[in-house]
Amino acid sequence: MVRGERRKLAVCTACGSSRVVLIQLDGDLHPMNRDGTCECGSDKFELVSWEDVERPVEEE
């Protein structure tokens, strides 16, 4: 990892698989331990926002 890069959770825009990605200094998202693509072949990812994650509803 290059100084300044960060790791975040992202999903592939083609198949929805989740991956840990490196946010490179130029803003590109690069899946860790891959050649820059998802297993489905896509190279497009979107960062996951914690607001998008469904939380279990607490029962009373």
Domain boundaries, the chain: 6-49
What is the model's pLDDT at position 46?
Answer: 92
Is the CATH number 2.20.28 carried by domain 6-49? yes
> With 60 as the cut, is the pLDDT of residue 2 above it?
no
User: Whole-angstrom Cα distance, residue 24 to residue 53?
Assistant: 24
Contact present, 15 and 33 (Cβ < 8 Å) = no
**What pLDDT is attached to residue 25?**
84
Encoded tokens for 37: 């693509």
The pLDDT tens digits for 7-34 are 899 999 999 999 899 888 888 888 887 6
Torsion of CA 42, 22, 11, 55, to 10 degrees: 170
What average pLDDT does this structure show over 38-60? 78
Q: What is the mean pLDDT of the chain?
A: 81
Dist CA 37 CA 25 (whole Å): 18
Q: What is the value of pTM for the model shown? A: 0.68
